[in-house]
Amino acid sequence: MTKRINHAVAANVRPDFSRTELPQGNLRADRPGDREQTHHTNPRVSTVDNGSLKSLKMDRFVPHPDYAEDQPYSRTILTTHVLHRGANLGADLGSLYGGVRFGLSAHARKSPLIASVVRGAGVGVVAATGLAAVALSLRMYGKQEIEWQDRSWRLLENKPQNRIDEWSASGALVGGVLGGVKKGLGWRGVVGSAGIGSVVGIVGWIASNKLRGKEEQAKVAGNSGKGIVKS
């Protein structure tokens, strides 16, 4: 009788893979989702150590893992984003300053309006980018690496924000090239053209996104109308 009971108990015993030893300091050790990930089809993902499982998905240009504590290049990502936004703001304010200066200063009117606006944007980009760098340094001074990773990870999770950055960077590239081709503007003209191009890129994304949304709404309405007619 005892042998039968032991045999039945042994038949129901299954190995517990959730007790795989994890490296010390791994913050994902107690997450139920990690314990359930024991089979993967991607050969580049290790299944030996649940604590080292990382998604290899890319957000366009940089790796974007499933967990914030795995996010590489966190300081570069966050710094680039903040400086980028500083350049956008500086281009806006600098362009406005250049236009106002053109209207108020007889000396500024010796050059075309577009030159005054572009040069003003160049000064604004440099000034605002510098202020953004200082503000970021003060804000993140003494912060642990995980805080840099968390902020950069959340930036990559925000898909609309990523698309805005891409359109803005593309516009800045085009604007910088055009400013470099135009003679007589100097460094302020090149930087200002890149800054204005970045703002134009953002406006282009907004317009494209709204147009795409209207097209999708029209498709949904069309499909709904067909369904009503069929019914």
| Confidence grade of residue 184 (pLDDT, cut at 50, 70, 90) | confident
Confidence band for 86, pLDDT divided at 50, 70 and 90: very high
| Residue 49: predicted pLDDT | 40
- Phi first, then psi, for residue 213 (nearest 5°) are -65, -40
pLDDT of residue 2: 47
Predicted model pTM: 0.68
Residue 223 has a pLDDT of 61
How many CB atoms sit inside 10 A of residue 63's CB? 15
Residues near 195 by Cβ (< 8 Å), separated by ≥ 6?
87, 88, 90, 91, 94, 95, 121, 122, 124, 125, 172, 175
pLDDT digit string (tens) for 6-53?
444 444 444 444 443 333 333 454 454 444 443 333 333 333 344 444
Which residues, in sequence order, are bridge partners of residue 58? 63
Backbone angles phi, psi at 68, to 5 degrees: -60, -35
Cα gap 187→176, rounded to integer Å: 10
Amino acid of residue 132: A
Specify the amino acid at residue 82.
V
Q: What is the pLDDT of residue 59?
A: 65
Alpha helices in the chain (DSSP H): 2-12, 32-36, 74-104, 113-140, 145-157, 159-181, 186-230
* Tens-place pLDDT, residues 111-151: 899 999 999 999 999 999 999 999 999 999 999 999 999 99
